[in-house]
Every structure is written in C-alpha cells, then in structure tokens.
Amino acid sequence: MSKVETPRPIRGTQDIFGPEAEAFAFVVETFERVRKLYRFRRAEMPVFEKTEVFARSIGETTDIVSKEMYSFLDRGEESLTLRPEFTAGICRAFLTDGWQQYVPLKVATHGPVFRYERPQKGRYRQFHQIDAEIIGAGEPQADVELLAMADQLLRELGIADGVTLQLNTLGDGDSREAWRAALIEYFSAVRGELSEDSQERLEKNPLRILDSKDPRDKVFVADAPLIDDFLSGEAQDFFGAVTAGLDAAGVAWTRNPALVRGLDYYRHTAFEFVTDRLGAQGTVLAGGRYDGLMESLGGNPTPAVGWAAGIERLAMLVGERDAAPLDVAVIPLGDAASARGEGLLAELRRHGVCAEMDYRGNMKKRMQRANNAGASVAVILGDDELAKGVANLKDLIEGDQHEVPLGDLVDHVFGLLSRQGRGDQARWAIRRD
C-alpha cells in the first residue's frame, strides 16, 4: 500500500503542548480563581451562532464583521458564523434564555474564537479568549469592578509589570454623536490623503480611523478633535466616578484620549491593557461599556460592560512553565507488589497526593524516572516488605529511608511531604478529615 500523506494543520491554528500548554492552563486556572473571588458566574456558549447575531451587534463596518468572520451555510442553508468574540453570544443568550432575572449579572467564560486574519506571532485564526461581562448595570462601579478584576488577574499571573491600563471615555450617545460629526468634518478636509480603508470608514464609522495603523492616517490622527471637547456634564461625571474608583482600588491607569474600540456600540468607558513586550500584538486585554448593544439584538435597553483577553498573548507574557512535579513515586518490585502498589496509588490519590507508578521497568529505571519527574518521596514495595505488611518510605531529598506499616502509609507520606515543605499542605489538611 502506498503511504498516504498526513494532512497539514489549518493555517493560523496552533497545537499547544508542553511548557506553552502549561502556561496556557495557568492563565485559565488563574482566571477561574479570580472570577470566583469576584463572584462572576460561569456560562458556556455555543461556538457558532446565526450570522446576524454578530453582524447586528458587532456592526457591519467593523473589521471583524466586514472581513474576519468564518461564516458558512449549513446543510439547511442557514448562514452561521463561528464566534469571533463572546459578547454577542452572551447578549443573545441573555435575551433568549431570560437572564434578565439575574441582573446585575456578572458572567465569565473562556474558549476558542475564530477570525480570518493574517497569521503572525500573537495573531491566529483560532485563538482563545477569557471573557468577563457585567450586564444590566449602568453604574460606574461596574466598570471599576471589571477593571479591578482584570488588574488582579494580571498581578496573579505575575505579568502586571510592563502592562499598562489605557483608559478613555467615548461619552454618552450625545457626546459621541457630536464628536463623530467633528471627526467627519476634520477628516473630510484631507479625505484624499487618507488610506483607502479610512476613506471608506469616513462617513460610516469615523471613530475607527483613530484606530488605524496605516501611517497615512496616523499623521492626521495626531491632531484630530478629542472627545474631551464634546463630553456632556453627565459623561464627565461618569468618567470621573470610574477614575476615582480605580484610584481607590489602587488600579493604575493612564488616559489615552485617542483610544477607541472596534465595535460600534461602545459608550463611556473604553480601555486596553497594553504592553511593548509582544511586538506589534501589544494589546492583551480590552473592553468597555456597550450600553447600546442589547437593543441591536431586539432587547430592551440594557447597560453592560465587559472585557476579553487573548489567552495566547497572556501565556506568552507568562512564559513557558514546567508541569507541577510529581510528589510520590510508588516503586513495586515484582508482580505481587505491583498489584498491592495499585491499591496504595489509589489511596494516595484519593487523599489528594500527586502520585504515580510506572507501568514497567526495574528498580533502577523506575528510580531514575521518579527523579526526572521531580518526585521527593518514593514508596518502595518488595516481597519482603509485603510479607511484613510494610513499605519502605524513602526521602528522595535527604536520601534516608525507613519502614512504615502499610495501614499508616498515607499519614507518613503526608508527614514527610510536609517536612519537605512540599506541595499544598492546606489541600492535604482538607482531604484528611
């Protein structure tokens, strides 16, 4: 038979394994811990939705909807789209599943999202986001809580240094409209000199020009009218309350008056956590207030604020991580010991001890692998020990060993691991009673 060719992975997708996968898992685990601390509820969303869910909420003139969506007709000729972000699907669920009863609803999720982009470092076609939203709260305290949560997450990931929070306000509906008109007037005067993309954005979505990376646009963006000249008193007060809350919570921020967000429905607070440690892909976490979004999906006016962060970019900042070391290696000598070893292994694991027993190999090989896996304790079990009802407990750090009765093995293992200062002693304490 001729050898068949192995299919290549899809461009812009990644297989993540080893130290990078450990960093990825660390990001997700830390996010899960922090969202519980802040009492955000978990939600699981479908990976695909009707295309209109994204088209209507994100906005037709955005990069995502105009050129990045993975849309397709299913076998029933319905246009579906792989989610390019979480917010739209969460809002759809909020409306169709009657989540109004929970407002203000703090909700968090994570998983894969899909965008047809030019793949490069930190930019993929399937990537992963963590996401947090507060729905049904128009108070600036909600913005503060979300930002404090993001800040704590970055601290607990150990990457807060070198990542700064850039903050802006887009004002309320009226402020934003006035600003928009001023931007159209300003950019219209130099229309011919703007990039093609920005010429197109000019009437439909002039705020997006401020976000352009094209050098032809950047010269004019530098002197474009700022939102500050158009902010209503109310909008100023709102922004003042957000910044005062951040100061009280000890969250550092800097004002970036040119910061806008890609989506059409942003109001008031807009923010990005940025770093210069990831080259061109410097935004790690971004979001803002989207008070107008729910209406675009046919819902009642519902203020909301949220953020999303790319797990791959956070994991790159975290850096490669080793898997947690093995605590206890069970080393049986002979078939009878191997069978008894299975029982000990199960008992240790049920008590929350990280333990492993190799499937094969002599004493020397097994000991070598235990050391390679970082084990600090070995439980050695031969025929003689078995006959006496004991095991040899070896301290792999100090090198000494002694016999302990099999009935008390778990306690002795706990004792030794504690003396070694190894692992999570609180965890063992809980499991023991």
Query: Of 433, 413, 409, which Cα lies nearest the Cα of 423?
Result: 413
Instruction: Draw the binding track, 293-322, toward ligand ATP (x: CB under 6 A; -: no contact).
Output: ---------------xxx-xx---------
Pairing state between β 328-332 and 377-381: parallel
Say whether residue 129 binds ligand ATP (CB under 6 A): yes
Choice between 122 and 374, CB closer to ligand ATP = 122
Site residue total, ligand ATP (CB under 6 A): 19
Interatomic CA distance for residues 85 and 83, integer angstroms: 5
* Site for ligand ATP, residues 192 to 211, rule: CB under 6 A: none
Min dist CB 245 to ligand ATP, Å, is 22
Query: Of 175, 208, 189, which Cα lies nearest the Cα of 64?
Result: 208
Helix ranges (DSSP H) in 38-128: 51-58, 63, 87-96
Say whether residue 132 binds ligand ATP (CB under 6 A): no
Quote the tokens at residue 31.
């996010």
State CA 232 to chain mean position distance.
Answer: 35
Min dist CB 62 to ligand ATP, Å, is 9
Choice between 94 and 114, CB closer to ligand ATP = 114
- Please give the residue whose beta carbon sits closest to ligand ATP in the complex: 310
Q: Which of 89, 138, 140, 262 binds ligand ATP (CB under 6 A)?
A: 262
Instruction: Draw the binding track, 63-92, toward ligand ATP (x: CB under 6 A; -: no contact).
Output: ----------------------x-------
* Site for ligand ATP, residues 270 to 289, rule: CB under 6 A: 281, 283-286
Q: Which of 24, 127, 239, 271 binds ligand ATP (CB under 6 A)?
A: 127
Say whether residue 114 binds ligand ATP (CB under 6 A): no
Residue 154, H or E segment: helix 140-156
Min dist CB 128 to ligand ATP, Å, is 8
- Transcribe 146-209 into DSSP letters: HHHHHHHHHHHTT--TTEEEEEEE--SHHHHHHHHHHHHHHHHTTGGGS-HHHHHHHHH-GGGG
Choice between 172 and 312, CB closer to ligand ATP = 312
Choice between 292 and 332, CB closer to ligand ATP = 292
Min dist CB 314 to ligand ATP, Å, is 7
Q: Which of 56, 83, 115, 366 binds ligand ATP (CB under 6 A)?
A: 115
Question: What are the backbone dihedrals phi and psi of residue 65, each rounded to the nearest 5 degrees, phi first?
Answer: -75, -40
Question: What are the backbone dihedrals phi and psi of residue 117, each rounded to the nearest 5 degrees, phi first?
Answer: -125, 170
Choice between 267 and 422, CB closer to ligand ATP = 267
Q: Which residues contact 123 (CB under 8 A, 6 or more apart)?
A: 117, 281
Min dist CB 132 to ligand ATP, Å, is 12
Q: Which residues contact 122 (CB under 8 A, 6 or more apart)?
A: 278, 279, 280, 281, 310, 312, 313, 316
Choice between 286 and 410, CB closer to ligand ATP = 286
Residue 267, H or E segment: strand 267-275
Min dist CB 84 to ligand ATP, Å, is 8
Min dist CB 338 to ligand ATP, Å, is 47
Q: CB of 375 within 8 A of CB of 329?
A: yes
Residue 414, Cβ neighbours under 10 Å: how many? Answer: 20
Interatomic CA distance for residues 378 and 357, integer angstroms: 10
List interacting residues with ligand ATP (CB under 6 A).
Answer: 85, 115, 117, 122-124, 127, 129, 262, 281, 283-286, 308-310, 312-313
